[in-house]
């Protein structure tokens, strides 16, 4: 491993961990995604263009690893929190969540976890990572219109699921 890569790991591991947990919904899968992302980043560092922010490049790798990860048949299940420890880890990654709002966040987390991957990734980058439509289109190599469309569809599906008593 290149000596400078330790600096990247120190700088971006927290952000990458939160992104992995947001996408996967459980610690075990998030840990696997985290490791696979760093592995691919180190392996392909010679392809990195330093004119492009490293964090965006890393999140693009993570999003692509997540897509690959979810294609595996044994990972196609919808997973909530496997135990209280995973739930606490998820809430610790969110800013200022009081115990009264935890139920709402669990419900939201489950609804987001049930979204198709193409919607989940866009929604997570936009709302949980605060990237703009333009930045997301660069990270995912998609047209801005496609990002907007997926975001609109994801919000529509979430709204329907969160207001439907039978969900």
Helices (H), the chain: 5-24, 27-43, 54-71, 84-92, 102-113, 117-123, 133-140, 144-163
pLDDT at 105: 67
| pLDDT of the chain, 167 residues: tens digit per residue | 455 778 888 899 988 998 998 888 788 889 999 999 999 999 999 898 888 899 999 999 999 999 887 765 444 444 556 666 776 676 666 656 555 566 566 677 778 878 888 898 999 899 888 899 999 999 999 999 999 999 999 999 988 888 875 54
pLDDT at 99: 56
What is the C-alpha to C-alpha distance for residues 84 and 90, in angstroms, rounded to an integer?
A: 10
Burial class from Cβ neighbours inside 10 Å (0-12, 13-18, 19+) for residue 159 reads exposed
pLDDT at 163: 81
What are the extents of the domains in the chain?
Answer: 5-163
pLDDT at 29: 87
pLDDT at 73: 42
Q: Using only C-alpha atoms, what is the Rg of the chain?
A: 16
pLDDT at 98: 58
pLDDT at 75: 46
5-163 CATH pick, 3.20.20.150, 1.20.1250.20, 1.20.140.160, 3.40.190.10: 1.20.140.160
pTM above 0.95, yes or no: no
């Amino acid at each position: 491993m290149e000596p400078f890569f330790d600096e990247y790991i120190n700088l971006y591991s927290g952000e990458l961990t939160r992104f992995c947990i947001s996408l996967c919904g459980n610690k075990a899968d998030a840990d696997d995604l985290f490791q696979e992302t760093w592995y691919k980043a180190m392996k392909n560092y010679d392809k990195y263009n330093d004119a492009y922010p490293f964090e965006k490049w890393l999140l693009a790798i993570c999003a692509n690893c997540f897509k690959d990860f979810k294609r595996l048949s044994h990972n196609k299940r919808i997973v909530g929190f496997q135990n209280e420890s995973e739930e606490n880890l998820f809430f610790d990654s969110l800013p200022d969540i009081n115990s009264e709002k935890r139920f709402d966040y669990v419900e939201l987390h489950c609804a987001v976890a049930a979204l198709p991957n193409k919607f989940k990734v866009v929604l997570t980058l936009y709302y949980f990572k605060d990237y703009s439509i333009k930045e997301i289109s660069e990270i995912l190599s998609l047209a801005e219109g496609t990002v907007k469309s997926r975001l609109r569809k994801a919000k529509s599906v979430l709204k329907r699921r969160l207001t439907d008593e039978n969900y």
